[in-house]
Chains A and B, each alone.
Chain A
Amino acid sequence: MSPYDLAAANTNHVPDWVGDGKEFPCKIAPNRRPTLQRGSQTVTIKDMSESAIHFDEMLDHEDGRRSPYQRYGAWFDEQPLNHLAKKSADAEVFFRRTGITFNVYGQQQAEERLIPFDIVPRIISAHEWSLLTNGIEQRVRAINAFLEDIYHRREILKAGRVPKQLIADNEAWLPQMVGVKPPGGVYTHIVGIDLVRTGENEFFVLEDNARTPSGVSYMLENRETMLHMFPELFSRNRVRKVSNYPSLLRRSLQACIPKRCDEKPVVAVLTPGIHNSAYFEHSFLAEQMGVELVEGHDLRVTDGRIAMRTTQGYRHIDVLYRRIDDEYLDPLTFNPDSVLGVPGIMDVYRSEGITIANAPGTGIADDKAIYSYMPDIVEFYTGEKALLKNVETWRCSEAESLSYVMEHLDELVVKEVHGSGGYGMLVGPAASKKEIEAFRAKLKAKPSNYIAQPTLALSTVPILTEKGLAPRHVDLRPFVLVSPNGIDITPGGLTRVALQEGSLVVNSSQGGGTKDTWVLRE
């Protein structure tokens, strides 16, 4: 029986997937409960072994559904399961025909894969959303102030709140950006903040994505798909719309004009090309904004500006939304072997002939080694306590932390400082002894390459399975636009869901799926 079956929920206060032999893999033994050692902010991680209950966003403890899900739940109760199963299959056809595909690295067979889409929306109340947006806005402001500071006056280093060495030794810190003022004073035009939830009002920032966060096309296409398949749901629920994201993005990019631009600014999206895993998103955003999608070989420097090769000769570009990493941006400045970038673009940038979004060198703000200092960073620049919590983090570069991590590998999540996409990480509670020992060797060899965090009791949201609704762990990536005129957070975001029962890994490259994310009106 599904825990979302109301009758079941009313009789058993505990959802029935708990204690039925399918133990949650991330249980932390009570005698080894992690204590907080780092950061200026105290975070209590619930001891999961005591109750082994994960906060479920649809169900409450008492007698049914949490309020954001009530209308949806009533609608759901009226739907025959086979009808929903058919809709689910329709959605897949819809995605395939539209070509919303994802290239997976390291798998030759599956060159283009669909990210599984679950048709049950993740619903966030207006109140929850306002809590989140206040915290996100504060954090994004701090990130931009931090970037401006470490590339200019370096006050935070002088004040000793962030170790100098951490910046100096970091590959994401670009000396070429020292003293450079990005057009409009904006460093991170687009930010994706990854959040997880553990309780009613318990949200944690898992990661700040300040380089080139992806996934926004899925936020938009997931909504499009839901509107197409279940129009009646949107007349029953007051869901805030996400569809104006592309026009806001364009407006926000056009608000950061480089000095040399004297007419209406021309925007373009720079993609590594058709074989990149996120190519669909690049072309989608260019199409939705009504701007050109360019590759490095379409561009060159002319008259101290960047120009694209058109059927009528070279035409200037003023704002480049680049979806390639810093390293590949300019072979004359960074990786000399890069063919994806534009030779000389950094010179043009420094002489204010082009706006690059996000600015080069923003990676230093979302680096996993910096992450643990975020509460200090927020406080330093905003003068306020951080509204959104950080997950407790052990920096393996520090001897004391390293020895703690070594002793508790079976209960921690260990991540590479510079890794992304869920690769090269260890989920202790889910790993075999052999895997743990193999990882221990890697950790020992280069401790500064890793950080460790406790396994959080991530919230669950139901997905549709053959047998009805079933809980699965989720995270949330809202998308933030920063322009000189202010910060704009699209009410929604990308909800990623670990489709395997009990799994905590939501990355699309590792079998995660997505959901439409609803933010309700007041």
Chain B
Amino acid sequence: MLGKTAGGLYWMFRYLERGENTARLVDAGLHIALTHAQSEDDQWDSLLETTEARRQFEASGRIADRQNVLEFLLSDRSNPSSVLSCFHAARTNARLVRTAITREVWESVNETWLTLNEALSRPIIVSELPDLLALIRRQNSLVRGALHGTMLRNDTYDFCRLGSAVERADNTSRILDVKYYVLLPTAIPVGSPFDNVQWESVLRSVSGQRAYRWLHGTDVSASGIADFLIFDTRMPRSLMFSLRETTDLLASLETAYAMTVESHAMAKRQMDVLDGQSVKQVIETGLHEFLQSFRQDNASRAVQIEQDFRF
């Protein structure tokens, strides 16, 4: 496979994942804003924080109110991380790699772009937002389904999933990072209503409320959530799950290509470090520092992947 093609597949799925995660974040933010009016402004502000888009948003001179933030995150063409921009970039990458994907995968991406481009070209209306966000998730599921159902299980498939896994690890760590202060035991008295709202928003951002309750019942605690999103390998959006998936995919590519790559070694080292830690240690030594260093490792591994496979 051409290095450029591998890169196109990988980035196509990174952008799809990013677009979907932004939609999830907005969904969680909206939920809180609608149910807890007093914390609304904080909520929009923290969304900008999570997506690391605050500086760019502020440069545009807009006020961080509901409408502006929603438009910035969902439909602003000048924001390269908006949902619309992400799906445009995913579709551009899909065009680039059309020879490598099945007709069904191509058509699902193309149709997703056409559908979302139309939906996001209209003004954002809050009452229609739940439907819009559901549409974004559903369209992405369509692509995932086409990928799963029609692609050969070879290097092509591995690069697609690698893109998703790398992006997801990054996104989940960002979601956790923005709320890390509420997960610190001393910040706010545990069990206060505000606390619960924030926890709920973290879980909702990763579509993990129900999964968490299945595993832990109603015993919601700060360290429980951190443990769930960092270490629980049953949770498909946890850091550990994404890292393990990345490691497995790189191992599979090594086998297919009969060569060893540095990015795999890096991923294994990171796994070992994570394996040796507990959530208690992480919180004691500093959740924020932990997440920051995780994200840095993830980013340098991503650079290594591009070099290893000559994107």
Question: Which residues of A pack against B, CB within 8 Å?
Answer: 96-99, 274, 279, 283-284, 286-287, 291-295, 297-298, 308-313
Distance in angstroms from B50 CB to nearest chain A CB is: 31
A-B CB contact pairs (8 Å), 20 listed: A99-B106, A279-B95, A283-B98, A283-B99, A284-B98, A292-B2, A292-B99, A293-B98, A298-B3, A298-B4, A309-B2, A309-B4, A310-B2, A310-B310, A311-B1, A311-B155, A311-B253, A311-B257, A311-B310, A313-B310
Q: Chain A residues near B212 (CB, 8 Å)?
A: none
Which one of B19-27, B107-115, B185-193, B285-293 is at the interface? B107-115
What's the Cα separation between A284 and B99 when bound, in Å? Answer: 7
Residue tally, chain B, CB below 8 Å to A: 23
Beyond A97-B107, A97-B110, A97-B111, whether A309 also contacts B95 by CB under 8 A is no
Q: CB-nearest residue of chain A relative to B113? A: A99
Q: By CB atoms of chain A within 10 A, which of B4, B107, B310 has the most?
A: B4
Pairwise interchain contact A311-B99, C-beta atoms closer than 8 A: no
What's the Cα separation between A170 and B146 when bound, in Å? Answer: 52
Q: Is B223 an interface residue (CB 8 A)?
A: no
- A-contact bits for B260-281, CB 8 A (1 contact / 0 none): 0000000000000000000000
Q: CB-nearest residue of chain A relative to B101? A: A287
What's the Cα separation between A308 and B4 when bound, in Å? Answer: 10
Q: Chain A residues near B309 (CB, 8 Å)?
A: 311
Q: By CB atoms of chain B within 10 A, which of A96, A293, A294 has the most?
A: A293
Distance in angstroms from B176 CB to nearest chain A CB is: 33
The answer, among A96, A295, A297, A310, for a CB contact under 8 Å with B1, is A310
- Tell me if A's interface is mostly helix, strand, loop or mixed: mixed
What's the Cα separation between A159 and B253 when bound, in Å? Answer: 63
Q: CB-nearest residue of chain A relative to B94? A: A99
Beyond A97-B107, A97-B111, whether A287 also contacts B3 by CB under 8 A is no
Pairwise interchain contact A274-B4, C-beta atoms closer than 8 A: no
Q: Is B251 an interface residue (CB 8 A)?
A: no
Question: Which residues of B pack against A, CB within 8 Å?
Answer: 1-6, 92, 95-96, 98-99, 103, 106-107, 110-111, 114, 155, 253, 257, 259, 309-310
Pairwise interchain contact A310-B3, C-beta atoms closer than 8 A: yes
Distance in angstroms from B88 CB to nearest chain A CB is: 11
Q: Chain B residues near A297 (CB, 8 Å)?
A: 4
Q: Chain B residues near A284 (CB, 8 Å)?
A: 98
Q: Chain B residues near A99 (CB, 8 Å)?
A: 95, 98, 106-107, 110
A298-B4, A309-B2 known; 7 new pairs, CB 8 Å cut-off, are A98-B103, A286-B99, A293-B99, A295-B4, A311-B155, A311-B309, A312-B259
Q: Chain B residues near A274 (CB, 8 Å)?
A: 92, 95-96
Q: Chain A residues near B99 (CB, 8 Å)?
A: 283, 286-287, 291-293
The answer, among B6, B95, B96, B111, for a CB contact under 8 Å with A311, is B6
Distance in angstroms from A223 CB to nearest chain B CB is: 16
What's the Cα separation between A274 and B107 when bound, in Å? Answer: 17
